[in-house]
Chain A
Amino acid sequence: MKNISLQINGKNVKAEEGMTIIQAAEKAGINIPNLCHDERLKPFGACRFCMVEIEKNNRKKLVASCCYPVEEGLIVDTNTKDVEKIRRILAELVLSLTPSGTHVEIANQLGIKESRFKQLENPETPCNLCGLCVRYCREIKKNNAVCFVGRGVNRTVTLVPGASDKCLSCRECFDVCDAGKIVYLVDMIQEISCPPLKSSFKRSD
């Protein structure tokens, strides 16, 4: 592996070729907020909280640090005005989607108490669609029991029909879910597949 040196927030950082900016930053003890990054999984680039500003050939650019590969001599700034502007709006957007999850912490750190956007009406269960459960199940467990359905604003996470056996005995994705949706989904299968022994149903006579 080739060694690469880059600069993050003015600090000289050493990284290995093939690493992403966020990995190099974590190694150097610099925290970049995010919802969908997990060291064990392939880069996804969906939450966009990890956007940073890079400088290359005297040109500045905003990139998702969880996907951008490190380059020799790259200059990275994780706290510019634009970066903060992005994080603030994203935090407000996710707050209006669901009240629990990692984003609440990020919002607190930014001093955001309330979202200026209209709260989503009748949210099913808390989920910020980070996709960690889907990707963990697919990439690590190779079970493909959790998936996304729907497009755009109708996107949601669900369990693949017929895969419930695996889910009941596995439950490993619970650890990656910050919002609580996946726990709810698996609990629901449990209820359906293991009904209470005594029925509360009473005959009228």
Chain B
Amino acid sequence: MEKLKTASDLEKLRKNLINKKNSKNTVVSICSGTGCQAYTSENVVKAFIEEIKKQKLENKVDVKRTGCHGFCEKGPVVVIYPKEICYLQVKPADVSEIVTQTLAQGKTVDRLLYTDKKTDKKIVTESEIPFYKNQKRLIFGNNRRIDPKDIDDYIALGGYKALTKALLEMKPTQVLDEVKNSNLRGRGGGGFPAGRKWETTRNASETPKYVIVNCDEGDPGAYMDRSLMEGNPHSVIEGFIIGAYAIGSNQGYIYIRQEYPLAVENTEQAIKQAREYGFLGKNILGSGFDFDITIHRGAGAFVSGESSALMSAVEGCVGEPRSKYIHTAISGVWNKPTCLNNVETWANVPFIINNGSKWFSDIGTKDSKGTKIFSLVGNVNNTGLVEVPMGITLREIIYDIGGGIPNGKKLKAVQTGGPSGGCIPENLLDLHVDFDELSKVGSMMGSGGMIVMDEDTCMVDVARYFVNFLADESCGKCIPCREGLRHMIQILDKITSGDATEKDIELLQELSEVVQMASLCALGQTAPNPILSTLKYFRNEYEAHLRGECPAKVCKPLITYYIDPKKCKACGLCLKNCPTNAITGQKKEPHVIHIEKCTKCGTCFDVCKFDAVVKKTGEKKKNKKEKTIVAG
């Protein structure tokens, strides 16, 4: 690779790359994101390379490993360009058929296409699948078209154009104004205006100044930053260099979780290639601006995603938060002005510079501009990463893109904002998703986790799950977070065991309010959200637990398994599968579960083909009452 010294060098290279790529007409792009890799997409890639060689098509067809396409539910995903034919759940055994039919003869393999559930019709092109059709794929769109390990792919699609524009045609203050006017808000959780943060660091008197990409995404079920960093690292790097130029920083850090090996690998490769082309280093593209990036790997603490804790970690200290009454934008890493933004925030920057702030601020709502990537998971048909314009309703995301709830179940709640977000009930589904609307109902945008929960979910159990996660991840520095979470779990355990009283709920509420008000960092301040939001919208479920009932029949201490003698066909399947031999029965005789031996693992419930095993709740308190009557 030769270092590019001017803007025209880059344009010349781009032209050559486009010509070179056009010579091979057909491209098989195979998703190699972490999700599809787990579905062994690498074997599919190898099968394609082999089969194409076998059928002597290698001069016409290119095989490409790309970043995450987002439709993880149906992986491995294969898309064949230029026609954009999309095959889902492709196995190595399907490859020879695809090569013979599609690549050699131009026919589609119907059985691998997406079937629309409503019309039962097959859909050929990727962008026509409802999951993709209803999205607005701005930041995430190029993931499926480029090989993240090859900078040339990114350049051929117009990459680093924004960088030349910013560095060679604009002054740093003009770049700053453009970002400020776009009203871009931080995608990491708080939604602080990015331009204002940049300006604070720019205007701070101390030097040197630092910039940081926060890729310490740790929310359960959320992986949008990961997929962006893995799938299109150059888009983040380009935005990062532009930001550093506007802020006046010559040194940047990308903080990536240790648990994201592919993100580390692809980012390392991307930085190396960007250096070779001269997008990083001294005198970038002849502009006189110097900038370089160091990768800092996290050591596995969720709290390190908090900006001040992350900065402690970069300094080599324990990742514990500090008071931020003097903002980190003024006094951050080594007490120097430091501007930290999330992966997705930086990735928005090249789009704003290329298209202008007016274009960007036309997308979204009054105070939340642009798009947001959500990781749509839980009880929803189409699990995956979705990018939507701000202001879309939850209903549109869950039903139009997500394809609704599986098995004809009813939706109960949507949890947004990661573990410290809140649960939004079904009746608020027409809420327009943006930073402020989500806060108003007691939840938050967070980094973009979205967990859909159906009627079989116990909301007290959900609160307990998230609080447990946060207690594990609390650093333990301040009392309200450390001790508060310890006791929140104890009280929730008491409630889900059916041993609590109204007084416990009152204490839980009071404790939650104090933890919210008094904790040192955002982890503690938002930790009670799962409790407060479920108490607000699902108080009846808490009250049911006081009576010894778990309405969703989830909390083990409050349920019992029972075989309906009328439905039992004495097939013996439950008896064979019971791990504790708690079931007895003879041929042609209804089987019986012996409660004293039953561990409530639910195996019998799952294996029964006749729905004869039923869950009952409310027996615990009833039994107690009966016993006392007998004793009395």
Interface residues of A (CB under 8 A from B): 43, 45-49, 51, 62-64, 67-69, 82, 85-86, 89-90, 93-94, 96-97, 116-118, 128-129, 148, 150-155
User: 20 A-B Cβ contacts within 8 A?
Assistant: A45-B322, A45-B323, A45-B478, A46-B478, A48-B519, A62-B517, A62-B518, A82-B517, A85-B517, A86-B517, A94-B479, A97-B483, A148-B318, A151-B473, A152-B472, A152-B474, A152-B482, A153-B485, A153-B486, A154-B476
Q: Which residues of B contact A (CB under 8 A)?
A: 301, 318, 322-323, 325-326, 471-480, 482-487, 490, 507, 510-511, 513-514, 517-520
Partner of A151, one of B301, B478, B480, B483: B301
Nearest 9 pairs between A and B by C-beta?
A155-B476, A67-B323, A93-B483, A152-B474, A89-B514, A152-B476, A48-B518, A45-B323, A86-B518
Q: Are B510 and A89 in contact (CB under 8 A)?
A: yes
CA A180 to CA B377, docked complex, whole Å: 49
Give A64 Cβ to nearest chain B Cβ, in Å: 6
Query: Do the beta carbons of A93 and B487 come within 8 Å of each other?
Result: yes
Which of B318, B476, B485, B513 has the most C-beta atoms of chain A within 10 angstroms of its own C-beta? B476
Does B483 lie within 8 Å of A152, measured CB to CB?
no
Task: Assess whether B487 is in contact with A118, with CB atoms less than 8 Å apart.
Answer: yes
What is the bound-complex CA distance between A49 and B483, given in angstroms? 13
**Is B480 in contact with A129, judged by CB distance below 8 angstroms?**
no
CA distance A94 to B518 in the complex (A): 14
User: B475 contacts which chain A residues (CB < 8 A)?
Assistant: 151-152, 155
Whether the pair A64, B510 counts as a contact (CB closer than 8 A) is no
* Contact in complex: A116, B517 (CB < 8 Å): no
Query: Are B325's CB and A152's CB within 8 A?
Result: no
| Extra inter-chain contacts (13) besides given A49-B479, A129-B479, CB under 8 Å | A43-B323, A45-B520, A46-B477, A69-B325, A96-B487, A128-B479, A148-B476, A150-B476, A152-B473, A152-B474, A152-B476, A155-B476, A155-B482
Alpha-carbon distance between A163 and B519 when the two chains are bound, in angstroms: 33
With a cutoff of 8 Å between Cβ atoms, the chain B residues found around residue A117 in the complex are 487, 490, 507
Contacts of A118 in B (CB 8 A): 487, 490
Question: Are A48 and B478 interface neighbours, CB within 8 A?
Answer: yes
Determine how close the nearest CB of chain B comes to the CB of A108; give it in whole angstroms.
18
- Residues of chain B within 8 A of A64, CB atoms compared: 323, 520
Nearest B-chain residue to A51, judged by Cβ = B518
Query: What distance in Å separates the Cβ of B328 from its nearest Cβ neighbour in chain A?
Result: 14
Across the two chains, which residue of chain A brings its CB closest to B514?
A89
In the assembled complex, the CB of A116 is this many whole angstroms from the nearest CB of chain B, namely: 6
B326 contacts which chain A residues (CB < 8 A)? Answer: 69
Q: Are B514 and A85 in contact (CB under 8 A)?
A: yes
Contacts of B513 in A (CB 8 A): 85
Residues of B within 8 A of A63 (CB): 325
In angstroms, Cα B507 to Cα A69, docked, is 33
Whether A151 and B520, one on each chain, are in contact in the complex, defined by CB atoms closer than 8 angstroms, is: no
The CA of A118 and the CA of B490, in the complex, are separated in Å by 8
The SS class assigned to the B binding surface is: helix
- The answer to whether A86 touches B514, judged by C-beta atoms less than 8 angstroms apart, is yes
Which residues of A are found within 8 Å of B323, using beta-carbon distances? 43, 45, 64, 67-68
A152 touches B471 (CB 8 A): yes
Name the residue on A nearest B486 (C-beta). Answer: A153
- Tell which of B322, B476, B480, B518 touches A153, judged by Cβ atoms closer than 8 Å: B476
How far does the Cβ of A142 sit from chain B's closest Cβ, in whole Å? 16
- Within the complex, the shortest CB–CB distance from B532 to chain A, in Å, comes to 15
Residues of B within 8 A of A82 (CB): 517
- Measured CA separation A66–B235 after assembly (Å): 42
Chain B residue numbers with a CB within 8 Å of A148 are 318, 476
Residues of B within 8 A of A150 (CB): 476
Residues in A neighbouring B478, C-beta threshold 8 A: 45-48
List chain B residues, Cβ under 8 A from A51: 517-518
A93 cross-chain contacts in B, Cβ below 8 A: 479-480, 483-484, 487
Chain A contacts of B325 at CB under 8 A?
63, 67-69
- Distance between Cα atoms of A69 and B323 in the complex (Å): 11
Q: Which residues of B contact A68 (CB under 8 A)?
A: 323, 325
A128 to B478, CA, bound (A): 11
Inter-chain CA distance A43–B490, complex, in Å, is 31
In angstroms, how far is the closest chain A Cβ from the Cβ of B181?
25
Give the Cβ gap from B78 to chain A, nearest Cβ, in Å: 43
Question: When chains A and B are docked, how far (Å) is the Cα of A47 from the Cα of B479?
Answer: 5
Chain A's nearest CB lies how many Å from the CB of B504?
9
Closest Cβ–Cβ distance, residue A103 to chain B (whole Å): 9
Residue of B nearest to A21 (CB): B325
Closest chain-B Cβ to A25's Cβ sits at a distance in Å of 16
Which residues of B have CB within 8 Å of A45? 322-323, 478, 520
Could you tell me if B511 and A89 are in contact, using CB atoms closer than 8 angstroms?
yes
A114 to chain B, nearest CB (A): 13
Complex partner residue of B507 from A47, A116, A129, CB under 8 angstroms = A116
Residues of A within 8 A of B471 (CB): 152-153
Query: How far, in Å, is B117 (CB) from chain A's closest CB?
Result: 44
Which B residue sits closest to A68, measured CB to CB?
A: B325
Which of B472, B487, B513 counts the most chain A CB atoms within 10 A? B487
Residues of B within 8 A of A89 (CB): 480, 484, 510-511, 514
CB <8 Å contact, A48 and B473? no
CB–CB A90/B518 < 8 A: yes
Q: Which residues of A contact B486 (CB under 8 A)?
A: 153
Contact residues in B for A96 (Cβ distance below 8 Å) = 483, 487
- Note all chain A residues with C-beta closer than 8 A to B482: 129, 152-153, 155
B472: nearest chain-A partner, CB-CB:
A152
- Distance between A179 CB and nearest chain B CB, rounded to angstroms: 13
Assess the B474–A151 pair: CB atoms within 8 A: yes
Separation in Å of the B325 CB from the closest CB of chain A? 5
**Assembly CA distance A45 to B477 (angstroms):** 9
Which of A49, A62, A128, A129 contacts B476, CB < 8 Å? Answer: A129
Which residues of chain A come closer than 8 Å to B483, judged between CB atoms?
93-94, 96-97, 153
CA distance A62 to B485 in the complex (A): 20
Q: Could you say which of B325, B475, B479, B480 has the most chain A C-beta atoms within 10 Å of its C-beta?
A: B479
Complex alpha-carbon distance, A155 and B480, angstroms: 14
Most buried by B among A69, A94, A96, A151: A151
Query: Least Cβ distance of B298 to chain A in Å?
Result: 14
In chain B, what residue has the closest Cβ to A147? B318
Could you tell me the distance between the alpha carbons of A155 and B520 in the complex, rounded to whole angstroms?
16
Minimum CB–CB distance for B500 against chain A, Å: 12
Task: Give the shortest distance, in Å, between B133 (CB) and chain A (any CB).
Answer: 44
Assuming A97-B483, A151-B475, A152-B476, is B520 touching A46 (CB within 8 A)? Answer: yes
User: Once the chains are docked, how many angstroms separate the CA of A86 from the CA of B318?
Assistant: 27
Residues of A within 8 A of B472 (CB): 152
Name which of B301, B323, B513, B520 has the most chain A CB atoms within 10 A of its CB. B323
Instruction: Kindly state the separation between the CA atoms of A68 and B327 in the bound complex, as whole angstroms.
Output: 11
Most central of A49, A85, A93, A118 by chain B CB within 10 Å: A93
Nearest chain B residue, comparing its CB with the CB of A128: B479
Most buried by B among A46, A64, A89, A154: A89
Find the B residue at minimum CB distance from A155.
B476
User: B474 to A48, Cβ gap below 8 A?
Assistant: no
The answer to whether A152 touches B485, judged by C-beta atoms less than 8 angstroms apart, is yes
| Nearest CB in chain A to that of B321: its residue | A45
B352 CB to closest chain A CB, in angstroms? 30
- Give A116 to B471 CA distance when docked, in angstroms: 20
Are A46 and B507 in touch, CB under 8 angstroms?
no
Complex CA distance for A115 and B320, rounded to whole angstroms: 28
CB closest chain-B residue, reference A120: B486
Instruction: Known contacts A69-B325, A152-B474, A152-B476; decide if A48 and B485 are in contact (CB<8 Å).
Output: no
